[in-house]
Each structure stands twice: as structure tokens, then as C-alpha cells.
Amino acid sequence: MAKVAIVTGGGSGLGQATAVRLAQQGVNISIVDVSEKGGNETVDLVKEAGADAIFIQADVSKAEEVKNYVDRTVEAFGTIDYFFNNAGISGSGGYYLDTDIKEIEQIVGINLLGALYGVRYVAEVMIKNGGGSIVNTSSSAGVIGQDSVVTYSATKHGIVGLTKSLVAEYAKDGLRVNAVAPGPTETPMVKAFYEANPKMKENATGGIPQKRLGTPEEVAELVTFLLTSNADYINGEVIRIDGGFTNTK
């Protein structure tokens, strides 16, 4: 019987690349995104790769919409084996004291509350069915401090705590929870951020020992490995994938 995954932020970037990689392994997928266009594009790519997929539109900062995507996945596929808890936004890139309160609330709502709500409802299904695997998306800004992304960094540090603490509570129930911490990666979100803040791209690339940005496909390969049984004894880890960026900090 085919495995089943939920991928949030699945309409582009890391989510889309991971959905395609999972589909290549025969995994059926619920694609969750606020963008109907991007979500349906990923559904088509998953089906082209030979797996089944549905699109569920959701604002992950709203608990009722998170519960809905979990319930609809179970209705469509019967269970949830894998969860890539990935939806997130970066913010405007301004210094913290210049940041509007509404922007702070939006970043926290999507990046942190959205992740908390996701594991709340997904883990409930997984444990009931004997276990499952979750990968949360943190960031290089979740393992070191970085300027111009204070709120974003705070949420991504929160993802690290979420990952480790869930394992402390529920590993005994068959739950595996890991996190990836990508450095600057060629996703639409990062490209838009750097277009608005070109000096930061120059600084970031110059600070990466490999002298290039990562690709969504490289991150997807790591996420897929962590989600599947190939990584069955890896639990509670936060794995950096950043070309050595945070290793030099």
C-alpha cells in the first residue's frame, strides 16, 4: 500500500521539490498551500511522476484550516505516514525596530503557530495509526543569529525547540521528528527577499564556503531521506544544509 504524505508550502520551492521527490518513490501526497495556482501546479507534477495527489488550500496560521487539511487527507488517503511541515514566509528584511507589528504577527502566525498546529493534528493521526515521520523546516537563521530577520529567526529557533521536545514526548509512540536548516536556497521566497534586499544576497553568497546558493532539489533529497524508513534511527536532529555557511559562524 502506498505511503501518504502532507507537504505544506507545497506550491513552490522546497515544498514543491520535495513533493516531486516523494512522488518518485510512489508516495501519495496532499499539497497544502495558500496559492491555488502553485498548489495545482505541484499536483500535476506529482501525477506526472506517477503518484496521486490532491490540493488543499489553507492559511496555516488558522488552526481550523490546519485541521481541515489533516481531515481531508485522511478522508482521501486513509492515513498520514509523512509530514513535511514546511510553510513559511521571510518578512520584509528590515531591522527589527523598523518592523510593523502586523508583520511580526504574520510571520509568527505562519512560521511558528502554523508549524505547531500542523504537528498537533498530524501527530494525533500518526500515533493513532502506530507512528510516522515529520520533518520541520527551520533555517540557518534557526541555528545562528542573523540581522534583518529577527522575527523570522525567532520562529525558526522555535522550530528547533518544537522538533526536539516532540521527540522527548512521543518517540516512544513511534513518532520521528527531525528538522532541516537550509541556508540561502534558490526558492521563489528567497529570490524575492534578495530582490528587495540585494546587499544581503551579496553578503550571504560571500559567506558561504561553497560560494553558491543551495537548490530546492538538494534540500528535497535530504527531506525525503529523513522522512522515509531509510532514516529510521535518526530522531530529534536538526540537520544543516547550507554549503558550510553556519559552520563558519
Active site residues: 152
CA distance 220 to 228: 12
- SS3 of residue 97 by DSSP: helix
**Strands ordered across the beta sheet of 53-57:** 53-57, 28-33, 4-8, 82-85, 132-137, 175-182, 238-241
Contact partners, residue 67, CB within 8 Å, separation at least 6: 117, 121
DSSP letter string, 125-173 = HHHHTT-EEEEEE--GGGTS--TT-HHHHHHHHHHHHHHHHHHHHHGGG
Nearest to 204 by CA among 218, 186, 221, 220: 186
Nearest to 185 by CA among 47, 25, 3, 15: 15
DSSP string of 112-136, one letter each residue: IIHHHHHHHHHHHHHHHTT-EEEEE
Q: What are the C-alpha distances in Å from 224 to residues 38, 61, 115, 134, 237? A: 21, 25, 18, 10, 15
